[in-house]
Copies of this chain bind each other. A is one copy, B any other.
Amino acid sequence: MSEDSQACLIIIGDEVLSGRTQDLNLAYIGRRCDELGITLAEARIIEDDEDRIVACVNECRALYTYVFTTGGIGPTHDDITSASIAKAFSRKLIRHPDAVEAMDDYYDTGMLTEARLKMAEVPEGASLIDNPVSAAPGFQIENVYVLPGVPMIMQAMFEIISDTLQGGEPMLSESIASNLGESVMAQALAGLQQQYADVAIGSYPYFKKGKLGVNLVMRSRDAARLAELGRRLQSMIVDLGGEVVG
């Protein structure tokens, strides 16, 4: 674990836990955190349940530099994230005038219904995160960033906040695929991992187009070390009688 900024993603949604909806937000935020030099150390997927949201947010905001949440900020009865986060911070839930104004601009006259106005409710003292797609904002309160579940809108909001997040050097990664099995290279790989303790090497078997192989993924903030280890891994593969593929 590094000394850098560490983040946690909380995905709020029964539909993800039931297997009905495939979450796509973790992959996006994971990739962006790497680029921003922030370690996404954990993700939790929890039910749409007030007690669970309150407990999880309070635990994670004490543990991590940044907490991102996705899901549960729409207009319907099952959207309880904003109210739950207000409760986690012991704040009142208020209708934010700037959110109302942004939504009033966005909707045709008469279409800003009471249901939609629910999306203007945030914990008192929270800062809004603009929604360039459909007006209803996200918000930030201390180190917690509350984002929607719809990937396109979540991504647009994440880009807006990304400039304000304190990261380090970007995490770089390179991968090398080979036609060798994991077991064949395990010993040599462990030796190289010891020599390059500053580069994390992951080994991931795959089965693609009828062929077995292994993807070796190197992760480091140092491009030179990454390139050097890449050459060593390629030699290792050839020495073991395999070849680099893909």
Give residues in A with beta carbon < 8 Å to B.
Answer: 1, 14-23, 26-31, 34, 40-49, 51-52, 74-79, 113-116, 118, 150, 171, 173, 175, 182-187, 189-190, 193, 200-205, 217, 219
Contact = CB atoms under 8 A, between A and B. Distances in A.
Nearest to A185: B76
B26 A45 contact: yes
Contacts of A19: 26-31, 34
Copies of this chain held together in the complex: 2
Main secondary structure of the interface of A (DSSP, over half): mixed
Contacts of A29: 19
A1 B190 contact: no
B204 A15 contact: yes
Nearest to A112: B183
Nearest to A200: B14
A218 B52 CA distance: 21
A168 to B, nearest CB: 15
